Amino acid sequence: MTAPGLPLLRRLLPQATPWQYTLNLAEIPRGRLRDDYTAASALAARRYPALYGAARLLIPPAWQPHLFAGGAFAVYADCLADVPVHQCDPAVFHAWAEQVRQGLDTGRAEQSFLRAFLYTVQVLSIDHADVHAALAGQAVRTGLTGYATEQDHHDHIELTVMPGARVMLAACRIPPCHRNETAMRLCLDAGQRWDDLADLAADLRRGFLTIPETDLLHFHVTRGDLEAGRDTPAVRALLAHACGKARAAFDAARAALDDADPAVQFLTRPVLMLTAQGLRGLEHQGAALLRPSRLWSFRLSPTELIGGTLRTLHHRLHLT
């Protein structure tokens, strides 16, 4: 779900470090490659304008070009994979994925943002295996209609999200370690569960149900009940159960994040904090979650927002 963040983006960017200066700090060679990184940055900005503006303002400038190159790669892959089931042509994704694989071997690509990404992979020594795993994970999403069990949801995070997260951590020069990966996985799981609930109605129209079939059977609810938006006690109980699992995921993510490196906390805590406010709103919607809406529902907790913001700023002070 993309936030309508263009007004925020326009307010933030005048205060951000000049783009050419960030390219200097990241040691991006002058010439076409700088245009490639600018294209990658623009792609990320179009997809997530609010997050892009915040990143330009707060992320260490030397990180930004490589972070946006990795982000552009992830955004483009997501756009190819995130297609309604009845319109999905896996061949389109697989053809692009083959271009990426060839680019990893040759360092060349036709797409400007992809050339930037390949350069980031090269100069930061990002493991090609993580890039291949990220492509394989996105391929799993093409034509996916839902999860049979809760384990399938867990496997979805491991296969489709975590490889890309490892690439992004490497793009920020954050060394891999068990506690960082654990925190990232739990934060991504929490964020995915919020996104699943926020986009439940839209995903159903696309032919994708994010609530496991085993949960439907337990509450005696059918997929047809959800697609029709039926407001019954069983449907409300199922949705409350899904919200409860999301709440537990957020609690686990916060606990794990406290043990992660400051850089990981800085990157993930703001998103976790904001999506938690979104979950608070979703928990009060009941069967309204099955009705399409263009608006996000937030119930803000000033205590959580202030505390999370102060901790984020504290970690920012320790980053170069």
Could you report how far apart the first and last alpha carbons of the chain are, in Å?
A: 31
| C-alpha torsion sign, points 238, 242, 245, 247 | negative
Any idea which of 23-27, 140-144, 254-258 has the lowest mean pLDDT? Answer: 140-144
- What does each C-alpha distance from 310 to 165, 190, 270 come to in angstroms? 24, 21, 10
pTM for the model stands at 0.84
Burial state string for 128-151 with b = 16 or more CB within 10 A and e = fewer than 16: eebbebbbebbbebbbbebbeeee
Confidence of residue 2 (pLDDT cuts 50, 70, 90): very low
Average pLDDT over residues 133-162: 91
Domain locations in the chain as residue ranges: 1-173, 175-320
Average pLDDT over residues 194-200: 94
Confidence of residue 111 (pLDDT cuts 50, 70, 90): very high
Question: Could you read off the pLDDT of 301-317 as tens digits, one per residue?
Answer: 777 777 777 777 777 77
Q: In this predicted model, which residue has the larger pLDDT, 186 or 141?
A: 186
Residue 296 has pLDDT above 70, yes or no: no
Tokens of 75: 């955004």
Q: Percent of the chain, pLDDT > 90?
A: 66
1-173: CATH topology: Farnesyl Diphosphate Synthase (1.10.600)
Average pLDDT over residues 199-228: 95
Q: Percent of the chain, pLDDT > 70?
A: 92
Question: Could you read off the pLDDT of 6-54 as tens digits, one per residue?
Answer: 554 555 455 578 999 999 999 999 999 999 999 999 999 999 888 898 8
The confidence score (pLDDT) of residue 224 equals 96
The confidence score (pLDDT) of residue 257 equals 93
Compute the mean pLDDT over every residue in the chain, rounded to the nearest whole number.
Answer: 89
Bridge partner residues of 209 (DSSP) = 146
The confidence score (pLDDT) of residue 3 equals 45
Judged by DSSP in three states, 209 sits in: strand
Residue 193 has pLDDT above 60, yes or no: yes
